[in-house]
Amino acid sequence: MENENLAKTNINWYPGHMNKAKRQMQDELKLVDVIVELVDARIPYSSKNPDIDKLAGSKPRVLLLNKADLADEGRTKEYKAYYEKRGYHVLAVNAKTSAGIKSVLGVIKEACKEKRERDLKRGIIGRPLRAMIAGIPNVGKSTFINSFAGKSCTLTGNKPGVTKGKQWIRLNKELELLDTPGILWPKFEDQQVGLRIAWIGSINENILDSRELSVTLLSYLYENYPGVIAAKYGIEECADGNEALERIARKRACLKKGGETDIDRAAGFLMDDFRAGKIGRITLDRVQKTVE
Ligand code: G4P
């Protein structure tokens, strides 16, 4: 991946219960016809857990590029084409405002076309498709389930505590969703992947140095989105992330008692602005650089 030299932050974060989550997902996958996987459109490669591919086997795949409102539209289109070429049915959505959500049912049905035709030939009519929502933490799975299922849906299946049956959310007569999403963790073998997940705020802050995170992000933005930092903070374009952070601190009046700049506070502002999309619509992965 690009900017190898940016990956100086050593991210060692890996939850111990990963294998249990994987096994649970493997069991639950047997119950569904299709997987609806969510990734963060700002990092459509880095937020995609490759284990989901292995677990899914030959099941139809729908991939939702969520938080598309925060991502670079051009790169979202590129990633849509990239994943479609690899057999996914892809949609860019915004689960928070429900933009694009109306099209999801049609895409799921399209992805399951062969299965529905097979069912029909066997005389199975009217059985709803069953789907599982999956993805790494913080990509918007719960927000999506709420906006997709809405208020009109009903919970079906066995009552918890009575039997071990699963709970299903019945959207309509054509589709049911497993009520708990499948959660897997991102892969951190590539430090760049870890860094990008940290930039968008999906890693517990405490394990990372926010100053270093900001400096590396600034360097990335200077290289890939020239002009955005200058425009947002009214500072001159600088070649170096440290220098830029110093200037942002002065501009935003992040000063300590003696007048010295408070770099940590400036770093906090920068990360908050970036994560809220206030620096612009930015995507941190690039199709050309995606290594599989
Ligand atoms: P998860 O189940 O996959 O862990 O994710 P969850 O739905 O909890 O969403 C994580 C955060 O992402 C939430 O923000 C949610 O509002 C936000 N989010 C989800 N989808 C979108 C989207 O399409 N666009 C944008 N801009 N944001 C989205 P939060 O700050 O944790 O909560 P809140 O303050 O928004 O309620």
Give phi and psi for 63, each to the nearest 5.
Answer: -120, 120
Q: Is the pTM of this model over 0.85?
A: yes
Round to the nearest angstrom and report the end-to-end CA distance of the chain: 10
Predicted confidence (pLDDT) at residue 134 exceeds the cutoff of 90: yes
pLDDT at 184: 86
Q: What is the pLDDT of residue 152?
A: 56
Phi/psi class of residue 161: alpha, beta or left (left: φ > 0; alpha: ψ in -120 to 50)? left
Query: What does the pLDDT read at residue 78?
Result: 97
What is the tens place of the pLDDT at every residue in 225-251? Answer: 999 999 999 998 787 899 999 999 999
User: Residue whose CA is closest, atom 15 of ligand 1?
Assistant: 140
Residue with CA nearest ligand 1 atom 19? 140
- Nearest CA to 133 among 25, 258, 276, 15? 25
Whether residue 275 is predicted with pLDDT greater than 80 in this model: the reply is: yes
Q: Which residue of 132, 143, 146, 177 sits with most ligand 1 atoms within 8 Å of its CB, as the best mutation to test the pocket?
A: 143
* pLDDT above 50 (res 161): no
Measured by CA distance, the residue closest to atom 6 of ligand 1 is: 140
Q: What is the pLDDT of residues 22-73, one digit of tens each?
A: 888 999 999 999 999 999 999 999 999 888 988 999 999 999 999 999 999 9
Rounded average pLDDT over 144-148? 93
pLDDT of residue 160: 45
User: Which residue stretches of 47-140 are H helix?
Assistant: 50-56, 73-85, 104-111, 113-121
What is the chain's Cα-based Rg?
21
Quote the ligand 1 centre to 123 CA distance (angstroms): 42
What's the gap in Å between 248 CA and the centre of ligand 1?
A: 27
User: How far does Cα 65 stand from its chain's mean position?
Assistant: 7
Ligand 1 midpoint to CA 177 (Å) = 19
Distance 90 CA to ligand 1 centre (A): 20
Q: Which residues line ligand 1 (CB under 6 A)?
A: 66-67, 69-70, 94-96, 135, 137-143
Closest CA to ligand 1's atom 4: 138
Highest mean predicted confidence (pLDDT) among 104-108, 170-174, 181-185: 104-108
